[in-house]
Amino acid sequence: MDLQSALVAIVVPACALYAVWLLAPTALKRAAARGLLRWPLPGPIANVLRRTANGAAGCGCDGCDAPAKAPGTPATEAPITLHRRR
C-alpha cells in the first residue's frame, strides 16, 4: 500500500464520522458522548464529549438556547441597519 492510499484510508472515514456527528440529532449525540466517555480518551476529546453529554437542549448556538425576552423589554443590542448598494 502506498502513502497516498494509506492517507485516503485514514482521511475518508474520519471525514465521514465528522459529517455524521454534525448531522446527528442532539439526543443521539448525547447518548454517543455518554458511551464514549467510558473509554480512556485524551483530555481535549473527553472535554468536548463531556460538554456534549451534559449540554442543554438545542444546537449550542446563541439562538434557540438563549432565554426568550419578555414582551415590551427594550433591546440591549443595536438595531440592524440595512444600507442600499450603490
* E strands, 4-47, in order: none
Which tops the pLDDT comparison, 85 or 13?
Answer: 13
Domain residues for the domain of 48 are 25-55
- Regarding pTM above 0.85, the answer is no
- The reply to whether 36 falls in a domain is yes
- The reply to whether 69 falls in a domain is no
- The reply to whether 62 falls in a domain is no
pLDDT tens by residue, 23-65: 999 888 899 888 988 988 888 888 888 888 887 555 555 555 5
Q: pLDDT at residue 7 above 90?
A: yes
- The reply to whether 34 falls in a domain is yes
Q: What is the structure's pLDDT at 79?
A: 76
Inter-residue contact 22 to 48 (CB < 8 Å): no
- The reply to whether 18 falls in a domain is no
pLDDT tens by residue, 9-23: 999 999 999 999 889
- The grid coordinates of residue 30 equal 448525547
- The grid coordinates of residue 34 equal 455518554
Q: Hunting for cell 450603490 — which residue is that?
A: 86
Number of compact structural domains in the chain: 1
- The reply to whether 4 falls in a domain is no
What does each C-alpha distance from 40 to 36, 44, 49 come to in angstroms? 9, 12, 12
| CA pair distance 28, 70, nearest whole angstrom | 32
